[in-house]
């Protein structure tokens, strides 16, 4: 079988061997229910609390502010719903280019009449119009929840958390940021960042799937999104994903330890691919702001529509190349990317997202560019 080239790391990443090693005992010998009082249970409880302390230390938060969940979607749902139902936010301000975990949640709360919904303008380069955000906050008669993602999962554009957080603070708004694409990829200092909620998902930085985290600033109190037992200090019912939590913490520890080298290398891969594409495919363009405030692991490529390029993802797959047309979470849908429609609604262009990890090479990129030349 032909060796596959995996360039869809914004969708998910391969599990790091050291992470699997850390998880293995909790699949086998250390299997106790963390809620049990005997030794097996106490060992499991200790592993979870040590993981919480590790995550909190890396993010410069307090362990009591870290809650483990099933992933980014649950975390964002819990934060957004909690802000509306328990923090008095009756007006949500978001953008049309958020991940569906946010978009569908705010639409649901608006549809049920629980909150008014406004969308901040998106500039042609994919960045959020912060002046418009300030205007929306200034005009609102209700307490607001602002929910804007740190880095867009399709085009890579980033917001300045401090700048947005300070605008929110000025208008007494609650600020939630979907940081699924950036936790494990950038350093965080939550003690000194004006944000109330952030989210993370282990599988975005070489950890396991099915585990995430929600940071809830100690100055805000919400009630549980999932009801049942008293796990996660009464905030998230259900027997904990023990090995997932251990894996999440280990993956975050490794990602932080190797951040400087890995981010520099991946940034180089992105720049290398941009230059190679511009050299060999003159009609190529790039969505968003790839050389500005942008996630170093994501490159959204736009090419002219043709009989060949319309089947681009299919043809790449046939040639053993894994990429995405936009958000991996809707890769099987027919309607295409809501993000690309919002910033570049050109029916004569086709978009493909390439996203990189430390495991990719320039040789792989050369192979992909050669294949693209034949397909476009």
Catalytic residue among 89, 168, 322, 329: 329
Report d(CA 369, CA 5) in Å as an integer.
12
Report d(CA 6, CA 12) in Å as an integer.
10
The gap from C-alpha 25 to its chain's centroid, in whole angstroms, comes to 28
329 is catalytic: yes
Mode of pairing for the β-strands spanning 91-94 and 116-119: parallel
Report d(CA 23, CA 39) in Å as an integer.
19
Report d(CA 188, CA 197) in Å as an integer.
13
Q: 197, exposed or middle or buried, with CB in 10 Å at 0-12, 13-18, 19+? A: buried
Report d(CA 162, CA 204) in Å as an integer.
23
Task: Please provide the size of the chain in residues.
Answer: 376
- State the DSSP code for 229: S
Q: 152, exposed or middle or buried, with CB in 10 Å at 0-12, 13-18, 19+? A: buried
Q: 181 with 153: CB under 8 angstroms? A: yes
Residues with a known catalytic role: 329
């Amino acid at each position: 079988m032909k060796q596959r080239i995996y360039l869809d790391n914004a969708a998910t990443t391969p599990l790091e061997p050291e992470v699997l090693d850390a998880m293995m005992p909790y699949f086998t010998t250390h299997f106790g229910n963390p809620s049990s009082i005997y030794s097996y249970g106490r060992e499991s409880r200790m592993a979870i609390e040590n993981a919480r302390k590790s995550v909190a230390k890396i993010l410069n938060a307090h362990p009591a502010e870290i809650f483990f969940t099933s992933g980014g979607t649950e975390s964002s749902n819990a934060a957004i719903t909690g802000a509306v139902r328990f923090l008095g936010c009756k007006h949500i301000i978001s953008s049309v280019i958020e991940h569906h975990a946010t978009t569908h949640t705010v639409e649901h709360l608006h549809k049920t009449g629980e909150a008014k919904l406004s969308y901040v303008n998106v500039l042609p380069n994919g960045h959020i119009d912060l002046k418009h955000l300030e205007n929306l906050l200034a005009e609102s008669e209700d307490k607001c929840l602002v929910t804007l993602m740190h880095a867009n999962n399709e085009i890579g554009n980033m917001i300045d958390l401090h700048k947005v957080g300070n605008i929110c603070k000025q208008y007494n708004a609650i600020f939630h940021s979907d940081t699924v694409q950036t936790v494990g990829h950038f350093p965080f200092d939550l003690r000194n960042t004006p944000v109330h909620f952030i989210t993370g998902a282990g599988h975005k930085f070489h950890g396991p799937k099915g585990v995430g985290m929600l940071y809830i600033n100690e100055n805000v109190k919400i009630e549980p999104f999932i009801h049942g037992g008293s796990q996660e200090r009464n905030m998230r019912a259900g027997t904990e994903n023990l090995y997932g939590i251990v894996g999440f913490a280990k993956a975050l520890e490794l990602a932080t330890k190797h951040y400087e080298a890995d981010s520099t290398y991946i940034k180089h891969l992105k720049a290398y691919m941009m230059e190679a594409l511009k050299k060999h495919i003159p009609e190529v363009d790039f969505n968003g702001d790839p050389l500005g405030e942008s996630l170093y692991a994501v490159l959204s490529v736009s090419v002219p529509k043709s009989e060949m390029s319309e089947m681009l993802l299919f043809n790449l797959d046939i040639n053993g190349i894994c990429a995405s047309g936009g958000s991996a979470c809707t890769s099987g849908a027919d309607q295409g990317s809501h993000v690309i429609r919002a910033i570049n609604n050109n029916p004569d262009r086709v978009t493909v997202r390439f996203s990189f990890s430390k495991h990719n090479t320039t040789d792989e990129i050369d192979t992909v560019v050669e294949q693209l030349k034949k397909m476009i």
